[in-house]
Each structure stands twice: as C-alpha cells, then as structure tokens.
A and B are shown apart, each in its own frame.
Chain A
Amino acid sequence: MPRSVDYRRIYRLMLRTRYLEEAIVQEHKQGKTFGPLHLCIGQEAAGVAASAVLAAEDVITTTHRGHAHYIGKGLDLKRLCCEIWGKAEGTGQGRAGHMLVVDRGTGILPGSGIVGGGLPVAVGEALAFQIKREPRVVVAFLGDGASNSGAFHESLNLAGLWRLPVVFFCEHNVYGLTVHVKDHLSVQDIAVRAQGYNMPGLVVDGNRMEEVAPVVLAAVERALSGAGPSLIEAKTYRLHGFSTSDTGGYQREEDLAAWRARDPIRLGADYLLSTGLTTQAEVETMDRQARAEVSAAVAYALAAADPVEVLVPSAVFKE
C-alpha cells in the first residue's frame, strides 16, 4: 500500500469503524462485552484519514481510543474483534484488550492505554528509522488530554531536536475523560505548543476527511524529506462517553446536537457525492458492505475460542 489519499477507501474504513462501535454498544447493552470499551463515534474522519494515508511500512502508535486508527491502518476486522472480545485469535491472543492492540504486520506499534505513554515510543521508532536511513514515518496519535502529560513535552522536544520522522496527530475531542478542555487546557489550540519544539503546528477540521488527509500526507512527506516532525491538531468531538462505563451527564445537549449535525460520516458522504467521486448508489452499497463486514467479524469473535493458559512457554520472556 503506497502513501496516497483515496477518499473512497477512507470513507469505507470510516463506515467500518462506525458500525463496529455501534455493534459494541449493542453488545454492551446485552452484557456481552468485557471491561471498559472506548469509542470514537464522531471522530472517525480524523482517526481513519490520518492512518489510511500511510504506507504499509509506516507505523502508528495509538491510544486507548484506537479503533479508527487500527482500522485505518488496515487491521483485519476479525482479529480486532477477537482482541476486543478477549479471544485467542486476537492481535494479542486476548492478553491485551482493545486499548493495547499491537500488530507488527500492519504497523500498529504499539497501542497504549496510558495517556501519553505511546509518544516516547513513537520517538524511538522514528529514531530507528533515521539511524537506519529507512524512508518510513511514525504517526503518533494522542488526545487533548495527553497534550498535558510530561511524556508529550519530552517527546516533542526530542523529536524537534533530532528532526525525527514523526507526525504527532492530536484528536482534540474536547474532553479528558469527563473534564472539559476549558478546565484542563491552558491554550485554545494545542497546535501552538509545536512552536516550543521547533516544528509546525497545524489545525484542521477533524470531522472532514478531506481536510485531514492532505495535511497528514504533507506532514509525512515533510518528515520523509528530513525536515522533521509536525504537530497536527484535529478539532473533533466525542459523541459517546469516555468509555462504555461512563455514566454521562457532563456533555451539554446543545454541544452534542451541534456536533451530531457535523457527523463525519455524513460529511464524508457529502464530499464523495459533491465531488463526483462516487454515486448515491455506491454510497449505499458501501454502507451495506460495511455493515455486513462488521456483523460477520463480531459474530466470528463471539463464537471464537477463548485463550486457555497464561504462562505458555515464552509468554513473558523471549527465549
């Protein structure tokens, strides 16, 4: 897969992400999910577009809210669902859960359920690419919450200092868990923090795939040219709770309504139709296909075998 912007593909992967998460909501209501699950409903354009433009050899580090990133980077839905449901065929053989998906094949290296924890690792991967002279980049996902962590600031400084091939991609979804950015963020735009670390900081509309994809691709090309890292801030909004265990009550109804009116799935379809990239009939076909793919993957995972032993040989240490 070469680096490119293919809006039809991005849109298809956004649909997969949306329907997967809607399926998770349904299964959760029936008590058929395990643990807290973190949904990115409303954020699909940002997460999918930023990972889907990458080449197969590029890598992403992701977050506890990573479904869009996993799917955007090309992870097989069945293997993802098996990890979400803790099954032996999951990316981590059910050991990791949905917050910590690691998949060398598609370059999801690694997920991290610790806010900000993946950013230093991303810097190290970019360092390896630089030292080995490999034309590869890392896209390091983070949220607005992580931009307040020490790991964020240490990582941006080191990446800026060494001009590493990494793109920090911040999905500003307005809440750090339940706390609104007005109560946890000292700046309006996280992108301004890039100035402190010798890199460009860019703000994009995170609900429009056509705004996200070209900006990410340009930052990737800049990184590949040796010009160093960038920080991209995608403004978006989390339409569901922090996780399936969130009891809610802190998101204002008028905000939710305003952001629902800017649903990235609908904006994506509008873009494809208005530009003539596709037809209404094809949009409907893509929709049906995505629903069918998700249904099949969820059914597969629900029926799949559980892992059996914890301490199988070489489970904890490589021999």
Chain B
Amino acid sequence: MATRQLFFNAALREALLEEMAADPRVILLGEDVAVYGGVYKVSQGLLERFGPDRVRDTPISEAAIVGAGVGAAMQGLRPVVEIMYADFIPIALDQIVNQAALMYFVSGGTVHVPLVIRTQGGSGSNAGPQHSKSLEAWFAHIPGLKVVAPSTPAEGKALLKAAIRDDNPVIFYEHKLLYRTVGPVSDEEVAIPLGQAAVKRPGSAVTLVAWSRMVLEALKAAEALAQEGIEAEVVDLRSLCPLDETTLFGSVRKTNRAVVVQEAWRTGGFGAEVASRIQEHCFDDLDGPVLRVAGMDAPIPFSPALEKKVAPSAADVADAARRLCRGPARR
C-alpha cells in the first residue's frame, strides 16, 4: 500500500476534505476556520472547495458555536465544529454537557447528535496558562460523549473520519505539538473504529499506557529502557471513550506491570481511571502498583524555563518504569 509522509495537520485536513466530499451533510463551523483555514491550517482550502454555506467562520462565541453544531446535528447535518483552544471550551461547556451529551438519552433514543468537536490542547508552545491545558478527562467523565486523542497523522486521519461518521457527539482532542509531526499516511482508505487501542511497541517487562502526544514520550522511554534490557510495551489508547479494555488488560496481564502516562494534571486525570480499572481487573496479575506519570498539579506556567518542568518527559516515564521493574517482585 503506497503511503506519503504527511504532517499531522495535513492528515486531519485530508480527513475533513474526504468526508465533506463524500457527504454533503458535513459542515465546518468555528473561529478562523474558513478564510484563514484554521489557526493550525487544518481546514485550509476547504472554503474554496466547498463554499461558504458549508465552511463558516463564526464570531468568538464558543457557546453558540457548539450549540449551533448541536442544533444542526439534530436537524440532519453532521457538523464538525472547532474550538480553537481546549482552554476556551469552558465557555461552551453547558452546550456540551447539558445539550449534546444528554439529547439521545432524554429523547429515549429518538434524537441523536452526530457532532464532532475538534479542539486543541497541551503545553509546550509557551502559550501560557490559558492556552495550554489538557482537559480530556472532563469529557471522558460525561456519559454520552466519546473522546478521541490520536498520536500520529495516519491515526488522526482515520479516527477523525470515524468520528465524523459516528452518530454521537465526539470530542476530538488534538495536541498542539503534534501538528508539525510527520508520519506515513496511506493513499487508501484506512478505517480505525473508535474504541480500539493499538500496541505501538511490543514488550514483556512493563506496559506503558498513553494517548495523544504522550505516546511519543512513552515510545522514546521504551527505546531508552530497551538499551538497559527492559522491554516495555507501549499501548496507545487512541480513544478514552469508548475505552479498549481488552487490549489494555491483555497487555498488563502479559507484562504484569503498568505505568500510565498523561500530560494532564495528575489529580482527577484520566490516568487515574485507567490505573483504577487495571487494578480492579488485573490485580492478581500485577507485580507492583500501577504507577502514574502525570503533569504537575499546577497551572501551566508561561516561562519556557518553567513550562518544561510541568509536563512529563520520556525520562520521567523511563524512571517510573525502572522503579517498577527493579523493585522487589511480589512473587
């Protein structure tokens, strides 16, 4: 199968373009998505291709953007709305939590909301505390929302297409540092269902669980650990909801150790949910505690000197894995 090397943002753009070409119900709404093509250029050229009816710049009105997506979805369109920074999502939270997530349930399954909310988060660009957060756990907490957080261009493309075709509201979480990463993307249609994790590197000594950009750090850590004779297995969850417990538990039962890696704040993060599920289901298989490597419980600071300290690095992940693997075995 022929592939091309594509940037993450270009791969997402291909997903939008292909889905819009295939389905006239797909529309785009958001700040700067039309004329400018999105601040990360994910929707570049789509206005010219599909016209102003289907690709619309909006006012800086996050509640109205998401609400418009919910309403249009209820009336037969399949909107993809963009919230430029995840940090702006709190303004639209009522529409997500009290409208989009509830509609199917409260209508007894007669009204559904096929809406994708693309948003961008994460630290590492010196954007400061109001433009750097990782808030994916908020949405995984809400019944009725699906949450996707890919780590590579190929998976970003396939999962965005799957999100657009899904009949439920999907939060599509993009890490800002991934946009300029490059990877092979097939020339052909690749389908990845929501809720399917991937083993990104096989190993036998410890499972490193991650999603979004932290997968790249986990892979770097696994590389370093391999030099020391510790074979780490890296599981990329890809979607937090639905969560692929089969792949996750299968890996932990093989390696008997797990480190969960997240960029988001440690307290109440999705990593806590993953760790909890592992110990509930794999307790007898574990040779040690499920460790978390997570963001520091502090607002994301602006100064580059400080910012680099709050998000986990590959070295932090490797340290945790070493502690777990070299500690006294329980059996």
B-contacting residues of A (Cβ < 8 Å)?
Answer: 59, 61, 91-93, 95-96, 100, 102-104, 109-110, 112-114, 117-129, 131-132, 138, 150-151, 154-155, 157-158, 161-162, 314-318
Contacts and interface: CB of A to CB of B under 8 A. Distances in A.
Contacts of B44: none
Contact of B104 (A100, A103, A316): A316
B67 interface: yes
Contact of B111 (A109, A120, A123, A317): A109
Contacts of B53: 131
21 contacts: A92-B106, A95-B105, A96-B107, A102-B110, A102-B111, A109-B111, A119-B67, A120-B66, A120-B68, A120-B71, A124-B67, A124-B73, A124-B79, A128-B71, A132-B75, A150-B91, A154-B63, A155-B64, A155-B67, A316-B143, A318-B112
Given A102-B103, A158-B61, A317-B146, 20 more contacts: A59-B75, A91-B107, A95-B105, A95-B108, A102-B106, A118-B99, A120-B66, A120-B67, A120-B95, A121-B99, A124-B69, A124-B71, A126-B71, A127-B71, A131-B27, A155-B64, A158-B58, A316-B143, A317-B104, A318-B104
Contacts of B98: 112-114, 117
A127 B74 contact: no
Interface of B: 27, 53-54, 56, 58-59, 61, 63-64, 66-77, 79, 91, 94-95, 98-99, 102-112, 143-144, 146, 167-168
B110 to A, nearest CB: 5
A318 B168 contact: yes
Closest 4 CB pairs of A and B: A120-B67, A124-B71, A128-B75, A154-B64
Contact of A124 (B70, B102, B105, B111): B70
Contacts of A61: 71
A306 B70 CA distance: 30
Given A91-B108, A100-B106, A117-B94, A131 B67 contact: no
Nearest to A134: B75
Contact of A92 (B63, B68, B108, B112): B108
B144 A316 contact: yes
A151 B27 contact: no
Contacts of A119: 67
Contacts of A123: 64, 67-68, 71
Given A104-B107, A316-B144, A151 B71 contact: no
B59 A150 contact: no
Contact of B110 (A104, A127, A128, A155): A104
Nearest to A317: B168
Nearest to B67: A120
A313 B69 CA distance: 26
Contacts of A161: 59
Nearest to B169: A317
B94 A110 contact: no
B15 to A, nearest CB: 21
A59 B74 CA distance: 11
Nearest to A307: B108
Contact of A151 (B69, B94, B106, B146): B94
A150 B67 CA distance: 12
A110 to B, nearest CB: 6
Contacts of B56: 162
B109 A109 contact: no
B71 A121 contact: yes
Nearest to A125: B71
Nearest to B92: A120
Contacts of A118: 99
Contact of B106 (A95, A129, A158): A95
